[in-house]
């Protein structure tokens, strides 16, 4: 049998840098960036990094000036332009590092330090950065935890950039230990080589069928997205909050997972790391809901092994998808040579990812279902469509209609 070629990665427009908002003086925020200022979509990217040594704040400030502030968005205000109906635009400004670098050095034992870090991150999610300064800050916690000698927390408003662009910025700041001027190597996924044979009717038929399947899946997913925005709600469960829950305080608890264990499952299941983590999430949510429903039953104890879950629970998540084209390792290294050349922005779409809520005898079944759902979402252009739909809605109807589908309209 001939081996068919796998589907190529979805390619977006070639001039990606033209889509991303460059931060030239007076340029308006992109539609997606404006959407992140809506109450239901007001999102910050919060990153906590454990460090093996104590952090010197003066060294951090010196490197922020020399490195990060070369990126225009990190030294620009988001100012309302009254000439264009209050539309936000980028305006360069002088950065006072005392407003952006916060240092805490509490004297606590290790157990209390772990709780302190969790509380600190939770409090950051409840507060906002003033728009009178560039919307980012760095929090240095010189406190010994169970896993690190100190913790550095970076908070960036999502209007500045998405996760992929921020990771590119972080990588451009890092260097090899063996060579202070050399960028670290990036391990990119290996592409399958196309078959050397010219192929036959069956191979061309399979390729045509794959293309038609992508368009059919896209049509189904876009219709389902529109139905969800209008009226199709998820099943009411203890996980579902009331309208406006996105603005309420939340509790953040972190758990350190062994990457070696994740890779072991990934390799054994011929899956991806995302598949494994989604499977773990499905297992955790299923057991949590089973326990909650068991306690709500009359005389129920929610014991493990007793299925208390209602049938056909509909639970979905809005999953973000990077729309940038795949870069080769040498292309990525060339892009990261200069901090100012790193393209910050929000080139992301989103898909509705369904979770399977059920108790499984075999824990690996959670990974199998996550892998199947992930493969199905890869064979669709839903993320590309939602990106352009959001831009269109924002352009003609404002940011409220272009926000993420966190609740139905009717």
Residue 359: name the closest of 288, 302, 266, 287 by CA. 287
What is the DSSP annotation of 351-391?
Answer: EEEEE-----SSTHHHHHHHHHHHHHHHT--HHHHHHHHHH
As a whole number of angstroms, the distance between CA 259 and CA 265 comes to 10
HSE of 271, CA atoms in CB hemisphere, 13 A: 26
Is 100 a residue of the active site? no
For residue 156, give the H/E element and its range.
Answer: strand 150-157
Integer CA distances (angstroms), 365 to 5, 82, 112, 279, 359, in order: 28, 56, 37, 8, 10
Burial status of residue 336 (CB atoms within 10 A of its CB: 0-12, 13-18, 19 or more): buried
Q: Where are the beta strands (DSSP E) in 52-104?
A: 76-81, 87-92, 101-104
Active-site hit among 157, 158, 187, 254? 158
Instruction: Assess contact for 312 and 234: CB atoms under 8 A.
Output: no
Residues paired with 316 in a beta bridge: 354
Tell me the two tokens of residue 383: 């993320």
Residues paired with 350 in a beta bridge: 320
Residues annotated as catalytic are 158
């Amino acid at each position: 049998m001939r081996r068919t070629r796998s589907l190529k990665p979805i390619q977006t427009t070639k001039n990606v840098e033209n889509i991303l908002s460059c931060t030239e003086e007076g340029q308006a925020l992109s539609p997606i960036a404006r959407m992140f200022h809506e109450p239901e979509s007001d999102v910050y990217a919060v990153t906590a990094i454990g460090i093996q040594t104590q952090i010197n704040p003066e060294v951090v400030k010196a490197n922020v000036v020399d490195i990060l502030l070369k990126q225009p968005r990190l030294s620009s205000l988001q100012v309302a332009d009254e000439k264009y109906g209050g539309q936000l635009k980028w305006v360069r400004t002088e950065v006072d590092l005392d407003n952006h670098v916060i240092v805490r050095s509490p004297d606590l034992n290790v157990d209390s330090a772990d709780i302190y870090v969790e509380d600190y991150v939770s409090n950051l999610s409840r507060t906002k950065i003033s728009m009178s300064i560039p919307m980012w800050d760095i929090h240095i916690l010189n406190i010994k935890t169970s896993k690190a000698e100190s913790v550095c927390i970076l908070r960036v408003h999502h209007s500045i950039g998405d996760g992929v662009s921020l990771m590119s910025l972080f990588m451009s700041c890092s260097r090899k230990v063996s060579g202070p001027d050399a960028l670290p190597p990036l391990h990119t996924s290996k592409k399958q080589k196309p078959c050397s044979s010219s192929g036959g009717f069956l191979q061309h038929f399979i390729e045509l069928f794959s293309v038609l399947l992508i368009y059919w899946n896209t049509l189904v997913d876009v219709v389902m997205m529109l139905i969800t925005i209008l009226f199709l709600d998820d099943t009411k469960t203890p996980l579902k909050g009331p309208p406006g829950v996105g603005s309420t305080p939340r509790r953040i608890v972190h758990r350190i997972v062994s990457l070696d264990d994740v890779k072991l499952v990934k390799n054994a299941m011929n899956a991806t790391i995302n598949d494994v983590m989604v499977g773990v999430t499905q297992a955790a949510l299923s057991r949590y809901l089973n326990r909650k429903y068991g306690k709500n039953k009359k005389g129920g104890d929610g014991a493990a092994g007793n299925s208390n879950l209602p049938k056909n629970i509909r639970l979905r998540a809005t999953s973000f998808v990077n729309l940038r084209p795949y870069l080769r390792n040498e292309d990525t290294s060339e892009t990261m040579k200069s901090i100012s050349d790193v393209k910050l922005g929000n080139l992301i779409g989103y898909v509705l990812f369904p979770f399977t809520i059920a108790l499984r005898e075999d824990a690996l079944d959670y990974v199998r279902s996550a892998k199947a759902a992930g493969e199905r979402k890869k064979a669709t252009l839903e993320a590309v469509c939602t990106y352009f739909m959001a831009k269109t809605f924002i352009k003609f109807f404002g940011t409220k209609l272009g926000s993420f589908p966190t609740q139905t309209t009717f």
